[in-house]
């Protein structure tokens, strides 16, 4: 079908989505990107955030934790460490994860005992938690 894309979202555990879509948007490291049928081949590094696609005239949204996207031959392949549909996101769990990450960041900045603190890892955990919550909130608002 010339006016459709195949979208596959793949994690280490499973293929999360394998569907036909008319458009796909995702968070690349250098900004949001959109893909329509017959898009030129490309590879993009992804940031944590919202992947959205139009399938059957309906917009669907999901969280992705980063990774990369390959566009080739009307197929969009997204390889990511974690992904979940917006409707499956536990907002309370995401809020708790964000709170824990903020506490780790605060404790790490005030750490005086010489133990190494992985600031980037803690910051990435906070970003993922906040993006997961944002994707769920946007989806619920319509």
Which own/partner pairs from 9-14 qualify as long-range (CB within 8 Å, at least 24 positions apart)?
9/51, 9/62, 9/64, 9/78, 9/80, 9/83, 10/77, 10/78, 10/79, 10/80, 11/79, 11/80, 11/81, 11/82, 11/83, 12/81
Percent of the chain with pLDDT over 70: 90
Confidence (pLDDT) at 30: 92
Give the residue-averaged pLDDT of 88-113: 75
Using DSSP bridges, classify how beta strands 58-72 and 75-79 pair: parallel, antiparallel or unpaired. antiparallel
| Per-residue CA distances from 97 to 118, 124, 128, 130 (Å) | 17, 11, 9, 9
Same-domain pairing of 35 and 60: yes
Same-domain check for residues 41 and 101: no
Whether residues 39 and 79 share a domain: the answer is yes
CATH code of residue 43:
2.60.15.10
What's this model's pTM, rounded to 2 decimal places?
0.78
Report pLDDT digits (tens) over 60-99.
999 999 999 999 999 999 999 999 887 887 778 877 888 8
> How many structural domains does the chain have?
2
| Enclosing domain of residue 136 | 89-141
Regarding whether 80 and 15 lie in a shared domain, the answer is yes
Residue 111 pLDDT > 80: no
Task: CATH number of the domain at 124, please.
Answer: 1.20.5.440
């Amino acid at each position: 079908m010339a006016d459709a894309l195949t979208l596959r979202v793949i994690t280490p555990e499973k293929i999360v989505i394998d569907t036909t879509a008319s458009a796909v948007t995702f968070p690349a490291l250098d900004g949001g990107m959109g893909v329509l049928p017959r898009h030129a081949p490309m590879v993009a590094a992804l940031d944590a955030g919202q992947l959205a696609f139009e399938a059957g005239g309906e917009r669907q949204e999901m969280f992705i934790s980063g990774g990369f996207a390959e566009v080739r031959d009307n197929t969009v392949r997204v390889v990511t460490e974690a992904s979940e549909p917006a409707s499956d996101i536990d907002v309370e769990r995401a809020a708790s994860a964000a709170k824990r990450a903020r506490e780790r960041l605060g404790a790490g900045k005030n750490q005086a005992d010489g133990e190494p603190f992985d600031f980037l890892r803690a910051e990435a955990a906070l970003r993922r938690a906040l993006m997961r919550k944002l994707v769920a909130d946007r989806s619920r608002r319509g």
